[in-house]
Amino acid sequence: MRIVHLLRTCIPGTLLLLPVAAAAQRLTAEDYIARWQDVAVAKMKEHGIPASITLAQGLLESGNGNSVLALKANNHFGIKCTPDWSGGKVYHDDDRRNDCFRKYRDAADSYEDHSRFLLRPRYADLFTLKPTDYKGWAHGLKKAGYATDPRYPQKLIDLIERYELHKLDSGQRPARATKAEPPAPARNTSRRRGGEADEVTLNVGGARPVERHAGRIKYVTARQGDTFTGLAEELGQIPGLLARWNDQDKGSALQEGQVVFLQPKRNSVKDPATHTVKAGESLWSISQRHAIKLAKLAAYNGLAPDAPVRPGTVLSLRKPRR
């Protein structure tokens, strides 16, 4: 007997029947939450969408990550192809025969694409709500036309409250999703002075030290032979996401001593406000030095991300005032 799973897509009013893996291989909701909660939080910090909403939609749309779209196409939100989509594609019967759905290199890309989907003008009113107002977001999604199911908001709210996902919106951990919790930091932490700000070194579970740039953004220092894939496996991260946080490709070589951020860099720097370029520096190396996103640094200075910079040039580390 073939097992099928019912998946609701992002296109209002549509349902998709797809075969899924055998029951023995199915993930539970707790498995899914433990696996993806950190990514949902990262997307919240980067785009302003409550992590509880993102994770609840992922649970609902992908059937806890067990749908064929999730397993074979890394598509956790049932997002269909659009004329401007240039990525991978898979085809399944839905509204029409052989409907086109987006295929991603890794599931973290699906989370990023979902965030960008909600940045469209039709959802603009949602961003006037408090990030902890998950009920307002759930009802707002329905009002903006995300889904036609009249119970869609309540389904999201039920998932959020059942698994305490709302705790993620305020920096806490859901009590019921503990399977992927990182080891507790050892008590022997040390504080040292370095760079332009205090940095805290945490010896996590006997592994390499995890430090904090400017007291908040976690990073590790690459060793000889390190790769994003190897680091991600060691630290419980996702290779593609780890590379993106460092403005590099997943296959890029890591240099010994290189700072590798474990969460998104900042959009701007308060102190110092500027950086004077030194010989041998690039926009990328400066973005790593100050933990500022490369695209933001380039935009603030009217440059392309790969543009060369001359020694002595003064770069702004924050958005210029008009």
Span 27-39, pLDDT tens digits: 899 999 999 999 9
The residue from 137, 170, 203 where one domain ends is 170
Task: Identify whether 101 is part of a domain.
Answer: yes
Residues 15 and 164 in one domain: yes
Task: Identify whether 180 is part of a domain.
Answer: no
Nearest to 313 by CA among 284, 279, 272, 267: 279
Task: Identify whether 201 is part of a domain.
Answer: yes
Residue 205's pLDDT band (cuts 50, 70, 90): very low
Per-residue pLDDT, 215 = 55
Token readout for 208 is 């390499």
Residues 255 and 281 in one domain: no
Task: Identify whether 178 is part of a domain.
Answer: no
Distance, in Å, from the CA atom of 251 to the CA atom of 305, rounded to the nearest integer, reads 19
Task: Name residue 60's amino acid.
Answer: L
CATH, residue 112: 1.10.530.10
Per-residue pLDDT, 237 = 73
pLDDT of 93 strictly over 80: no
Task: Identify whether 267 is part of a domain.
Answer: no
Residue 286's pLDDT band (cuts 50, 70, 90): very high
Distance, in Å, from the CA atom of 209 to the CA atom of 203, rounded to the nearest integer, reads 5
Report residue 71: phi and psi, to 5°.
-75, -40
As a whole number, mean pLDDT of residues 197-226 equals 65
CATH, residue 283: 3.10.350.10
Domains identified in the chain, total number:
3
Task: Identify whether 114 is part of a domain.
Answer: yes
Residues written for the chain: 322
Task: Identify whether 177 is part of a domain.
Answer: no
Per-residue pLDDT, 136 = 95
Residues 280 and 252 in one domain: no
pLDDT of 92 strictly over 50: yes
pTM above 0.75, yes or no: no
Query: At which residue do the structure tokens 């949902």 appear?
Result: 40
Residue 94's pLDDT band (cuts 50, 70, 90): low
Task: Identify whether 185 is part of a domain.
Answer: no
Nearest to 15 by CA among 148, 132, 117, 109: 148
The residue from 105, 138, 170 where one domain ends is 170
Residue 122's pLDDT band (cuts 50, 70, 90): confident
Residues 231 and 164 in one domain: no
Residue 270's pLDDT band (cuts 50, 70, 90): confident
Q: For the chain, what is the mean pLDDT? A: 80
Residues 164 and 36 in one domain: yes
CA 29 to chain CA mean position, Å? 19
Residues 128 and 17 in one domain: yes
pLDDT of 253 strictly over 50: yes
Residues 13 and 118 in one domain: yes
Residues 108 and 230 in one domain: no
pLDDT (tens digit per residue) in 172-182: 888 655 443 33
Domain residue limits at 116: 4-170
As a whole number, mean pLDDT of residues 291-316 equals 95
Secondary structure (DSSP) of 11-38: STT-EEEEE---GGGPPPHHHHHHHHHH
Residues 107 and 18 in one domain: yes
Residue 187's pLDDT band (cuts 50, 70, 90): very low
